[in-house]
Homo-oligomer: A and B are copies of this chain.
Amino acid sequence: MGSTTAASIREAIAGENVSAWLRSVRDPAERAHQLAKLSSTELRALGTLLDRHGGTDLFESIDDELAARLLEAMPARDAADLVDVLDLDHAAHVLRDIKPGPREQLLSGLPQARAEALRGLLRWPEDSVAAHMVPEALTVRPDMSVGGAVAALRDDAATLRSDSRTGAYVYVTDEDNRLLGVVAFRDLVLSDPQDTVSALTNRDVLSVSPLTDAEVAAQALMDHNLVAVPVVDDGNRLLGMLTENTAADITSEEVTEDAERQGGSEPLEVPYLRASPWLLWRKRIGWLLLLFVAEAYTGTVLRHFEEEMEAVVALAFFIPLLIGTGGNTGTQITTTLVRAMATGQVRLRDVPAVLLKEMSTGMMIALTMALAALIRAWMLGVGPEITLTVCLTVAAIVLWSSFVASILPPVLKKCRVDPAVVSAPMIATIVDGTGLIIYFMIAHATLSQLQGL
């Protein structure tokens, strides 16, 4: 998959021969990859070279944001022609990434009915499943014969523009467009033409309302192993459907955003290779500064225990090791837990079970790490008292970190904050300051030199 001697889009733009590039580079990943590296000047040049035909081909394999940039750069007439031939849902998505002014201009260049259909889709909130649905579906009536349904579908199909992605199901509706069930095209092909549609209809259909969160609907589609989920209004009337391909895209984007949050930065919202250093800086610096301020607390803690450190400078040797181990233990838990919550495996009511599981595991890890700390302190030759302090501290920090890491994601979820913001840096920062307090408190209790302080 992917060739090492792929034709270059840069050369194609320079040579004004984009269609040859489109013919020779068929792999969508390779296309997206080459396009991601173009400068905005090159993108504009590419836009001016695209016609409706090349645009349709290209738009199949690129993300909506890039498609929007290209549309903006294309001659107005070609852009309108291209939007006119795209699938409705695809067109709506690309248009969402264009500023209202130019978007309205583009819409006004379209046939009236097409523009209205697009405006209808654009009115749904961006996160809703309705904003992601294919607003067209083939329907049949339950009392039709299979042969009659096939004939009716043939007539309907001529007037619809839905592409092959909408192809697996036909919805069964009554005369008011209320959803009754679903029939697979496959069953229409494989059944006796004399059967009624009703006999083939699966009436146990999962449907969603238009304002359902798109991620929730996508997850439900995947959980139920479906190819599409119908979107119905309050009166159970069919508005459109969410297809499996769209659901997979929604889920993949969400996974990328979660990964970025887990790494302690804001989601980039554009493909990494197209993100400028300036954008990366903006997405990262907020969390870095916040964590810096939180972490600065460690300096206050250490200054508070300045006398202790002056009395026993060996205590300082173990600071990075102890707080590092606490951060690592917590990070292991939060990453596993956040993912389990994102896939719906762990819910809020499981918090007691999670806590029990993690504290039991934490106990075993605390013992193991205390043993490791014993060996390390012995190797550094710091004497029995400091060795004891270090062993006790590592066990206490592991348990404390396990507790914080198990409780924080569900607490945030309860407060309607995405638990994915509990990043490795955040856990490390929380455990660093508090871990140091634990360290010096234990040191006070165990070290004879510190008894007077």
Contact = CB atoms under 8 A, between A and B. Distances in A.
Nearest to A157: B190
A335 interface: yes
Range of interface residues on A (Cβ < 8 Å): 35 or more
B252 A222 contact: yes
A7 B337 CA distance: 25
B165 A184 contact: no
A360 B273 contact: no
A357 B277 contact: yes
Interface stretch (A72-80, A118-126, A234-242, A305-313): A305-313
A192 B188 CA distance: 15
Nearest to A323: B320
A184 B268 CA distance: 37
Contact of A260 (B37, B263, B275, B339): B339
A329 interface: yes
Interface stretch (A13-21, A95-103, A106-114, A368-376): A368-376
A321 B336 contact: no
B339 A321 contact: no
Interface string A18-39: 0000000011110011001100
A338 B299 CA distance: 32
Interface in A24-73: 26-29, 32-33, 36-37, 60-61
A320 B332 contact: no
A384 interface: no
A299 B345 contact: no
Interface stretch (A171-179, A223-231, A445-453): A223-231
A33 B285 contact: no
Interface string A434-449: 0010000000000000
A96 to B, nearest CB: 19
A429 B320 CA distance: 9
Given A325-B295, A428-B327, A436 B320 contact: yes
A264 B325 CA distance: 11
Interface in A329-355: 329, 331-340, 343-347, 350, 353
Nearest to A306: B313
A237 B204 CA distance: 38
A60 B225 contact: yes
A308 to B, nearest CB: 10
Contacts of A2: 344, 347
A284 interface: yes
Contact of A299 (B276, B321, B428): B321
Contacts of A105: none
Nearest to A394: B292
A411 interface: no
A451 B79 CA distance: 69
A37 B289 contact: no
Given A222-B245, A263-B336, 15 more contacts: A29-B344, A168-B227, A185-B186, A185-B188, A259-B336, A273-B346, A277-B360, A278-B364, A281-B364, A288-B329, A293-B372, A300-B380, A310-B313, A320-B432, A324-B425
Please name the 6 residue pairs, one residue from A and one from B, whose CB atoms are nearest each other, closest first.
Answer: A263-B335, A424-B424, A167-B186, A277-B360, A298-B320, A272-B340
Interface of A: 1-2, 26-29, 32-33, 36-37, 60-61, 150, 153-154, 157, 164-165, 167-168, 184-186, 188-192, 204, 216, 219-220, 222-225, 227, 244-245, 248, 251-252, 255-256, 259-260, 262-265, 268, 271-273, 275-278, 280-281, 284-285, 287-289, 291-293, 295-296, 298-300, 302-303, 306, 309-310, 313-314, 316-321, 323-325, 327-329, 331-340, 343-347, 350, 353, 357-358, 360-361, 364-365, 368-369, 372-373, 376, 380, 423-425, 428-429, 432-433, 436
